[in-house]
Amino acid sequence: MSDSILTLEGVYTNIAQYHILQGVDLVVPRGGVTMLLGRNGVGKTTTLRTVIGHWRAHQGRILFDGEDITKMPTPAIARLGLGFVPEDMGIFADLTVEENMTLAAVSGPINSGRLDWIFTAFPPLKTFWKSDAGTLSGGQKQMLSIARAMVEERKLYLIDEPTKGLAPAIISTMAKALKDLKNQGSSVLLVEQNFAVAKALGDSANVMDDGRMIWAGEMDELSRDAALQERLMGLSMETH
Amino acid sequence: MSAAPEHAPTMAQTTLAERLGPYMPVLLVPLLALAGFLAIMNPASWLTLTVSGLAMGMMIFIMASGLTLVFGLMDVINFGHGAFVSVGAFVGITVLMTLGHMTQAPSLMLNLGAVLLAVLGAMLATGAMGWAFEKVIVAPVYGHHLKQILVTMGGLIVVEQLIIVLWGPEEIYFNRPEALKGAITFAGAAIEKYRLVAVAVGLAVFAAMRWVLRRTKIGLIVRAGVENGEMVQALGYRLKLVFVGVFIAGSALAGLGGVMWALYQEVITAHMGNHAMILIFIVVIIGGLGSVEGCFIGALLVGLMQNYIAFIEPKAALISNIALMVTILMWRPMGMIPVVKAK
């Protein structure tokens, strides 16, 4: 399938004795933002972590850009062109903002044009360029986490709840940056609980429950149908 | 809609204690030296003891620095680290003894040349041994602390016995090269030349390590890896490979420390590494596991403490460092410079 950048086929992932993913099927099209939705604890984060190789699929297959990455080590998967923004942001607190960014530029020095774009999207990063990342606020850390993934062009960005616990003003900064990324033609797989953000950014949507994919379709279709949301996610997200 | 609650933030000036907080570990070294001075009350003795303490601290730092990074980076507890100290000492001293014509000659260049060759031999041997040790002993037990303790301890015993097989069970006495013998007199205090050399080498190793960790990409990877290895891998770096490199470098440094320790004592035994491990562990723990700076400061504190107490109350020397560790851990349970861990 040439139009999909990432495909999961019947993926099962166990964490200790818990069977978290129980046959996940997911197709992420090339270009645009694909939403991964669902209630808490249904396996969204585990799905992303299985793709990047932090958890291992016990069964099933994961294809990235036509290549089977199911058993590949994490660094090799990342180098194929995957940018990962984990739920806990994964900031290196003991390193400065600059060092965090330098490290993220795996293939060499940071491209200055790209850095300008990042500074425009996230001005605080320029202000605190030489500061320890550990001293940043929660929102600034999240900006750094996303900026780190954006510092080099990737084929696919896996972003886990970028607006979690952030103030509304910062959420809109975040949403705008993600929109920029989308307008550049990047592919993004986004886990997001904020439905307004999901609605504004998402092209297609996938809903999980109990370690399986229970619905896949256009984001528009889901956001227009409150009854469907209620059925899939147990509550109408419009009220949130 | 009710009115927003009053919001009147106040700016309190930070107290002296708060401002000094981050620098406290660094300040501890001069504070301990000052305390030593007040307790000894004899400038000449104090100076001799201080230089001797600093020299000892530097040597412990060189031996311990690899261990702290290995633990920080991969959560590996290596009780076998002392084996590299012993092997480094035996290989180095063997090289030195075969170069007897160079070490006994009254030429500084020849003496230093012999020592450099000895150090090079020791570091090559322990570096290679570190590579094999990681492959055979450490790699199969990643993530299992109990197994790590047992198997690395076992590795240490095997290496000690191999030393006895190769070099015999007797202690080996030898003389330092001519240029490193004797003392200089400064302000009425006799200071052994070799101790000054040890301080200089220790400072150079510390400066080089800091430079690598702060100024190079590999250093960035190591520092980031100590904090959150998973994320470093998700960025595309093969942390395992970096870890093996750090293990080899750490082993080679332990070998260097072994040669220096041997030259200091002028005697080597198969168990010297094992004995040094007690001080090495104290230093790594009070410094903060994974912190090179903490390890450096911790080593200086241990070296000074040991020397001062041995002078003031020889019987208390043995427990003085345990007491130091307990005190520091009560003050900072994660060590003086705790490394931020992701989880």
Q: Would you call B233 and A78 a contact, using CB atoms and an 8 Å cutoff?
A: yes
Take residue B169 and report the two structure tokens written for it: 């069970």
A148: chain B residues, CB-CB within 8 Å: 235
- B22-76 tens-digit pLDDT: 788 889 999 999 999 999 889 899 999 999 999 999 999 999 998 998 888 778 8
Interface test with A, best of B69, B231, B334, B343 (most A CBs within 10 A): B231
> CB B233 to CB A102 under 8 A?
no
Q: Give Cβ neighbours of residue B170 (< 8 Å, ≥ 6 apart).
A: none
How many angstroms separate the CA atoms of B139 and B148, rounded?
A: 10
Q: Where are the alpha helices (DSSP H) in chain B?
A: 16-20, 24-40, 43-74, 81-98, 100-104, 108-133, 145-167, 193-215, 217-234, 239-265, 272-287, 292-312, 317-331
Name the more confident of B166 and A16.
B166
Cβ atoms of A34 and A213 closer than 8 Å = no
Nearest C-alpha of chain B: how many angstroms from A228?
34
Q: Is A90 on the interface with B (CB under 8 A)?
A: yes
Do residues A156 and A5 make contact, with C-beta atoms less than 8 angstroms apart?
A: yes
* Partner residue facing A94 (CB), from B217, B227, B239: B227
**Pairing assessment for the beta strands A67-68 and A57-64 based on DSSP bridges:** antiparallel
Q: Kindly indicate whether the ipTM for this predicted assembly is greater than 0.95, answering yes or no.
A: no
Does residue A1 sit within a domain? yes
- Whether residue B1 has pLDDT greater than 70: no
Q: What is the pLDDT of residues B199-235, one digit of tens each?
A: 999 999 999 999 999 999 999 999 998 889 999 999 9
Q: Letter for the amino acid at B147?
A: K
**Residues A106, B238: C-beta atoms closer than 8 Å:** no
Q: What is the pLDDT along chain A (240 residues), one digit of tens a residue?
A: 458 999 999 999 999 888 999 999 999 999 999 999 998 889 999 999 999 999 999 999 999 999 999 999 999 999 999 999 999 999 999 899 999 999 999 988 999 999 999 999 999 999 999 999 999 999 999 999 999 999 999 999 999 999 888 888 889 888 899 998 889 888 999 999 888 889 999 999 999 999 999 999 999 999 998 888 888 887 654 444
Check A73 against B238: CB less than 8 A apart: yes
Question: pLDDT tens for residues B76-91?
Answer: 889 999 999 999 999 9
Domain extents in chain B: 53-331
Question: Are A44 and A191 a contacting pair, CB within 8 Å?
Answer: yes
Strands A82-85 and A156-160 turn out to be parallel
pLDDT of residue A193: 86
- Interatomic CA distance for residues B169 and A143, integer angstroms: 62
Is A192 within the bounds of a domain? Answer: yes
Q: What is the CATH number of the domain that holds A76?
A: 3.40.50.300
DSSP labels for B197-210? HHHHHHHHHHHHHH
Contact A141/B at CB under 8 A: no
pLDDT score of B151:
94
Q: Which residues contact A161 (CB under 8 A, 6 or more apart)?
A: A87, A191, A192, A193
Residue A223 belongs to some domain of the structure: yes
Q: pTM of whole model > 0.80?
A: yes
Using an 8 Å CB-CB cutoff, list chain A residues near B228: 90, 92
- CA–CA dist B9, B22 (Å, integer): 25
Question: Cβ of B234 and A78 within 8 Å?
Answer: yes
Name the residue facing A75 among B224, B236, B342 (closest C-beta).
B236
pLDDT at A1 (0 to 100) = 44
Chain A to chain B Cβ contacts (< 8 Å): 63
User: Is residue A115 in some structural domain?
Assistant: no
Q: What is the dihedral of CA A131, A137, A139, A142, to 10 degrees?
A: 50
Of B217, B227, B231, the CB nearest to A86: B231
% pLDDT > 90, chain B: 66
Amino acid identity, residue A213? M
Please say whether the beta carbons of A29 and A4 come within 8 A: yes
Number of structural domains in chain A = 1
The whole-number pLDDT of residue B3 equals: 61
Percent of chain B scoring above 70 in pLDDT: 96
Residue among A80, A85, A87, A103 with most chain B CBs within 10 A, to mutate? A103
CATH no. for B53-331? 1.10.3470
- CB within 8 Å of chain A, chain B residues 179-218: 217
- Band (B4; pLDDT cuts 50, 70, 90): low
pLDDT tens-place string over residues B97-134: 999 888 888 888 898 899 999 999 999 999 999 999 99
List CB contacts of B248: < 8 A, sequence separation 6 or more: B127, B130, B131, B134
Q: Is residue A14 part of a domain?
A: yes
**The domain containing residue A6 runs over which residues?**
1-81+187-240
Taken as a whole, chain B contains a residue count of 343
Residues in chain A within 8 Å Cβ distance of B227: 92-95
